[in-house]
Structure 1
Amino acid sequence: MSTERPKAYYTAVFLRGSFRAIKESMAGKAEDGLPCWLDTRMLGMLCRELTACSEEPTLPADAHEALESAREACDQLLSRCPGGLDSTLCHRHLDAILEALQRAIDALAKAPVPAAPSRWQSATRYLLHGWKRLS
């Protein structure tokens, strides 16, 4: 993994690819009104990963906002699955998630990478942690 981009960038790219694969593998097309049956376990796993990514403390504000928007759309989709949506609505939810993830990726691509802690900062943290453990 390159150190030029934050970790959240790579997570967002993975999530966008996963949600795109879900959308492309769905049996129903966006125009038909057939019921949509998604794998809720996989969708739940992706939603948890999206939640964890959106809660990272070093995210820029615009990336955090886009990830929160994607998480909310994913929660709405998950609350109606399986079988609570027709293909048209399911595609709309997935499009909203994909659009928000793309905004997050664009924002994270421009984000500066946090500097690695210096040796002194690491040593200080190590000593404080040891001191607290002994207290």
Structure 2
Amino acid sequence: MSTERPKAYYTAVFLQVSFRAIKDSMAGKAGDGLPCWLDTRMLGMLCRDLQACCIETDDQDPAHRPLADARDACDQLLARCPGGLDSTLCHHHLDAILEALGQAITALDRPPSPPDASRWQTASRYLLQGFRRLT
């Protein structure tokens, strides 16, 4: 059994940082009613990465539902870009994506399970404990 985090964890962290950067720099101010002009090529690339990350998780994985929610919110955002949203709605979609990614990261950041001990390891540990009792 692997003791590393799943690849989907690192992809989700990358996506969260990327969407946060979009929200902070390109989406305009949340309160203004001006049109929001996002880069649809970059948004499309992130949406594809989000789709791949969602496919990578199993349906029973607790991270699958939040990743699917983030993917759906990203698809909705991409369908209305560029110029189809004002900054308030753009921020609303980005907030939904970021919240779902945060939930997925929390679900994917589970501690790795310890590897199962082999028969030889168990037997040697048992013999060693018995030897220590004798001495």
TM (norm. structure 2) is 0.77
Cα distance change of structure 1 residues 108 and 91 upon mapping to structure 2, 3 Å threshold: same
Q: Output the amino acid matched with 1:53.
A: C
State the shift of 1:48 in Å.
0.1
State the shift of 1:62 in Å.
1.8
| Structure 2 unaligned regions, length at least 5 | 116-135
| Structure 1 unaligned regions, length at least 5 | 116-135
Q: Which residue of 1 aligns with 2:51?
A: 51
Secondary structure of the 2:76 match is helix
Secondary structure of the 2:19 match is helix
CA root-mean-square deviation: 2.0
Q: Is the 8 A contact 1:60 1:108 kept in 2?
A: no
Within 1, Cα distance between the matches of 2:16 and 2:38? 17
Q: Which residue of 2 aligns with 1:22?
A: 22
Secondary structure of the 1:102 match is helix
Greater shift, 102-111 or 38-47, is seen at: 102-111
Cα distance change of structure 1 residues 59 and 3 upon mapping to structure 2, 3 Å threshold: farther
Q: Output the amino acid matched with 2:43.
A: L
Within 2, Cα distance between the matches of 1:87 and 1:30? 6
Equivalent runs, 1:1-135 vs 2, <5 Å: 3-26=3-26, 28-58=28-58, 60-110=60-110, 112=112
Cα distance change of structure 1 residues 59 and 17 upon mapping to structure 2, 3 Å threshold: farther
**Any runs of at least 4 consecutive aligned residues in structure 1 with deviations exceeding 4 A, and if so which?**
57-60
Specify the structure having the higher radius of gyration (Cα): 2
Within 2, Cα distance between the matches of 1:71 and 1:83? 20
State the shift of 1:3 in Å.
4.8
- Figure out how many residues of one structure are paired with residues of the other and give that number: 113
State the shift of 1:57 in Å.
4.6
Secondary structure of the 2:74 match is helix
Cα displacement string for residues 27-51 of structure 1 (whole angstroms, at most 9, x for unaligned residues)? 5200110000000000000000000
Q: Is the 8 A contact 2:33 2:86 kept in 1?
A: yes
Within 2, Cα distance between the matches of 1:97 and 1:16? 8
Cα displacement string for residues 65-89 of structure 1 (whole angstroms, at most 9, x for unaligned residues)? 0000000000000000000000000
